[in-house]
Amino acid sequence: MEERIIKTEYSDEMQKSFVDYAMSVIIARALPDVRDGLKPVQRRILYDMGELGIRHDRPHRKSAKIVGDTMGNYHPHGDSSIYDALVVMAQEFKKGMTLVNGHGNFGNIEGDGAAASRYTEARLEKVTQDAFLADLDKDVVDFIPNYDETSKEPSVLPAKFPNILVNGSEGIAVGMATSIPPHNLGEVIDATKAYMMNEGISTEELMSYIKGPDFPTGGIVINKDELLDIYETGSGKIKIRGKVEVEKIKGGHQNVVITEIPYPMIGANIAKFLQDVAALAESKKTQDIVDISNQSSKEGIRIVIELRKDADAENFINLLYKKTHLEDTFGVNMLAISDGRPETMGLKAIIKACVDFQYEVNTRKYTNMLAKELERKEVQEGLIKAVNVIDLIIEILRGSKDRQMAKDCLIYGKTDGIQFKSRESVIMAQQLCFTERQANAILEMRLYKLIGLELDALIKEHDETMSNIYRYEDILDRKDSMATVIMQELDEIKKEFSRPRRTQIENAEEAVFKEKEFEVMDVYYLMDRFNYAKLIDKNTYERNTEACETEFRYCFKVKNNGRIAIFTEDGTMHVIKALDLPMSKLRDKGTPIHNVTNYEESHGPVLLAANMEEMLTLRLAFVTKKGLVKIVPGEEFETTRKTMASTKLADGDLVAGVEVVNEEKNIVLKSRNGYFLRFQLEEISVLKKASQGVRGMKLEGKDEVEEVYLTRGNDTKAITHNGHEIVLNTIKLLKRDSKGTKIR
């Protein structure tokens, strides 16, 4: 085969290819048709289920069977996309009215996915059969070849009501997306009838029937006044809140119970909501929460938040509206395929398109039905006429050599070759003029039709046929008659399938959350030797001063909005916000500091915990294990971070001690080998935190500094060394950079 090379501009080819791809996605994949409200994959699933005979009154069939058959015959785009579409059409919490009846695990409102298609089963809902598939055999819509042209599929299903409004739709195409909220079936039907009776009706008048969206999850739409503009333009934002109740329980406590959620919250956003509520407590946005639990079940949503005794429930609910997805936004963009192209349509435009489609479908339906009734009339009249001359017809049949000879006699009066009993019979036969259809019916007629009662039934059936013909002709000739038929069908659908509205529509004021003014007070910070920290109030400290001072490693006063500085031996300073620590009782265990800081065990033991605000106004003495010392001004440690380097260390060196310098005069260094060095603090250089310091104590061999103490002039502070008590101020006062005094 000869090679053909087509030269073209790359940018032109890319542009053409992209446009072709985009239109394919828009028209054939992602957007619904305004006439039946279905995307192609949904339409193909429902049609295939109808073809397979999986009716509402028959047993369920495996979803895998439906998926495989749909993919093989109509939708060659992968089984997962087909099954996902099938699942959504069966989920009551996503659709205003389900079109598929699922059996098995089809997922739940909390975001759990459906079981695999080999486990679940499905069948059509009754409304799908009655309102989408019932008239397909009456040539009401065009059929187009399937993807491989081995069979045909409907280009659109003859939906009898505006399904695009009832079930809504969501889809993302190339460069555009659709987001249509679901509505109440009864209201949509009422609005459709109102439009049919007055095509000049305004959107505002239509909204006296359609109050607004009706989400399957209920909730409350709170921007009623903005809905008119949304339905006029086909786009906008609907604000929706969950429904909340307040229950009083024993002990004066209250439960805030969420019984309905905003439509956008379905799925994983329920778990996200629970996390957000917990985060409000953790971040101290509210201290009203005692407990939160999700008690939802098949009976409905029930999320319970227990509040403390004196909590303001209304204020707390407003906080949920402001800070969580309990109040959410549904973005409306009513984009659909109309006349073969995507179009953003308002409420009236959608109803008009659906009504025009109904007129088109019913015109084709009744034209087809009229043609069939006229055929029946023709046959019935031929049979009645034949019964009246049945003896002659029997004579013709007995005298004819073949079927065609008898047929020609019945239609054209040809008697050549037929043997008759008399000349009169020939004359009568020559006068026959049945139509071809009548002649075929006569030739196929059975003898029992000659019974008198059968003739009466035939005449009665003919009368019914004539009545149908007059009715169908009236429907086709007069628009009012057809409108009446369409509205009667709508009334029947409403009567059988409508349900009460679930979503409330109202105007609500913006939620206002009043944060309680924070009362700054003195509290006491306690930390034990296991690094568990807590705050206690001033009264508790004053009643238990001795226990606080002796049982805890650190005990000092701090503001409840203050910060605590934690120094570790690797030269790191960690900052704790007092707000991150709960107010506790004295005997409560407390909170591990690694829960509220970046502290890890690898940072080494805690050497100092101090009130950061006080520390910033003083100075800090640093001593390393290799004997280096320095004094650093407190302002060097001002930071907004949780962690910072507090000093610079030489390789292999660690911090032996950090002490806040207040009115102390002397410093005592104790080494591992039992040397004590006391010298004046004024001998230590004041340096930046980024420096290593100067030598404070001469160390021999592998000796290193173990302990650091600060003393005042008349201080009687004592320590125990080798079983003996040593008053620190009695140790000989030497100079910095000395070896010190050996004490055994």
Q: Which CATH number does the domain housing residue 277 bear? A: 3.30.1360.40
Return the bridge partners of 623, or none: 629, 657
DSSP 415: -
For 706, phi then psi, to 5°, come to: -110, -40
**Residue 174 lies inside a defined structural domain of this protein:** no
Looking at 603-735, list the stretches that DSSP marks H as alpha helix, in order from N- to C-terminal side.
612-615
**Residue 626 lies inside a defined structural domain of this protein:** no
CA 302 to CA 292: how far, in whole Å? Answer: 11
H/E stretch holding 664:
none
Q: Angle 479-497/452-477 helices, nearest 10 degrees?
A: 100
DSSP 130: I
Written as six digits, the tokens of 607 are 């050497």
CA 300 to CA 350: how far, in whole Å? Answer: 32
**Residue 539 lies inside a defined structural domain of this protein:** no
Last residue of a domain, one of 159, 192, 215: 159
Q: Are residues 279 and 400 in the same domain?
A: no
CA 334 to CA 620: how far, in whole Å? Answer: 67
CB 411 within 8 A of CB 393: no
- In this structure, the chain runs to a length of 744
Place of tokens 């007092």: 578
Q: Which CATH number does the domain housing residue 65 bear? A: 3.90.199.10
Place of tokens 């069908």: 489
- Residue 159, judged by CB atoms within 10 A of its CB (0-12, 13-18, 19+), counts as buried
CA 588 to CA 552: how far, in whole Å? Answer: 13
The CA-CA-CA angle for residues 383, 389, 390, to 5°, reads: 75
CA 231 to CA 695: how far, in whole Å? Answer: 81
State the amino acid at position 642 in one-letter form.
Answer: K
CB 366 within 8 A of CB 215: no
CA 230 to CA 236: how far, in whole Å? Answer: 5
Q: Are residues 423 and 302 in the same domain?
A: no
CB 126 within 8 A of CB 39: no
Written as six digits, the tokens of 47 are 């049609």
User: 149-155 — which CB contacts under 8 Å span 24+ positions?
Assistant: 150/73, 151/73, 153/43, 153/44, 153/47, 153/73, 153/74, 154/43, 154/47
Place of tokens 């921007």: 223
**Residue 388 lies inside a defined structural domain of this protein:** yes
Q: Are residues 318 and 273 in the same domain?
A: yes
CB atoms within 10 A of CB 500: 7
Nearest to 40 by CA among 154, 174, 178, 148: 154
CB 257 within 8 A of CB 300: no
Q: Are residues 266 and 377 in the same domain?
A: no
- 54 to each of 81, 121, 141, 216, how far by Cα in Å? 20, 11, 22, 26
Q: Which CATH number does the domain housing residue 376 bear? A: 1.10.268.10
Last residue of a domain, one of 497, 513, 537: 497
CB atoms within 10 A of CB 464: 12
State the amino acid at position 652 in one-letter form.
Answer: G
Written as six digits, the tokens of 462 are 């003919």
Question: What SS3 state is found at 385?
Answer: helix
- Name residues whose C-beta falls within 8 Å of residue 314's C-beta, 6 or more positions apart in sequence: none
Mean pLDDT by 10 residues, the chain (744 residues): 70 66 61 92 94 94 95 90 94 92 92 92 95 92 91 94 94 81 96 95 95 94 94 95 90 87 88 88 80 87 88 89 92 91 93 95 94 89 82 84 87 84 84 87 75 74 91 93 94 94 90 71 91 91 90 92 92 91 86 89 89 92 94 92 92 92 90 92 92 92 92 85 87 90 85
CA 13 to CA 35: how far, in whole Å? Answer: 34
CB 92 within 8 A of CB 216: yes
**Residue 724 lies inside a defined structural domain of this protein:** no
pLDDT at 455: 75
DSSP 265: G
Return the bridge partners of 62, or none: 121
In the chain, the number of structural domains is 3
CA 93 to CA 267: how far, in whole Å? Answer: 10
CB atoms within 10 A of CB 401: 10
Q: Are residues 292 and 370 in the same domain?
A: no
Domain interval for residue 472: 362-497
Helices (H) and strands (E) in the chain, counts: 21, 35
Phi-psi domain of 694 (left: phi exceeds 0; alpha: psi -120 through 50; beta: other):
beta
pLDDT at 453: 52
**Residue 418 lies inside a defined structural domain of this protein:** yes
pLDDT at 401: 86
- Name residues whose C-beta falls within 8 Å of residue 617's C-beta, 6 or more positions apart in sequence: 634
Nearest to 743 by CA among 674, 643, 642: 674
- 368 to each of 16, 135, 185, 278, 600, how far by Cα in Å? 42, 11, 29, 64, 82
Last residue of a domain, one of 467, 497, 527: 497
CA 226 to CA 626: how far, in whole Å? Answer: 74
List active site positions. 119
Convert 480-502 into a string of H (helix), E (strand) and C (coil). Answer: HHHHHHHHHHHHHHHHHHCCCCC
CA 409 to CA 706: how far, in whole Å? Answer: 131
CA 513 to CA 318: how far, in whole Å? Answer: 5
Looking at 506-627, list the stretches that DSSP marks H as alpha helix, in order from N- to C-terminal side.
538-543, 545-551, 612-615
Nearest to 80 by CA among 68, 94, 90, 91: 68
Q: Are residues 315 and 401 in the same domain?
A: no
**Residue 300 lies inside a defined structural domain of this protein:** yes
CA 139 to CA 136: how far, in whole Å? Answer: 6
Question: What SS3 state is found at 15?
Answer: helix
State the amino acid at position 404 in one-letter form.
Answer: Q
Nearest to 121 by CA among 74, 67, 46, 44: 67
Written as six digits, the tokens of 316 are 């707390």
H/E stretch holding 137:
none
Say what the pTM is: 0.75
State the amino acid at position 96 in one-letter form.
Answer: G
pLDDT at 103: 95
**Residue 71 lies inside a defined structural domain of this protein:** yes
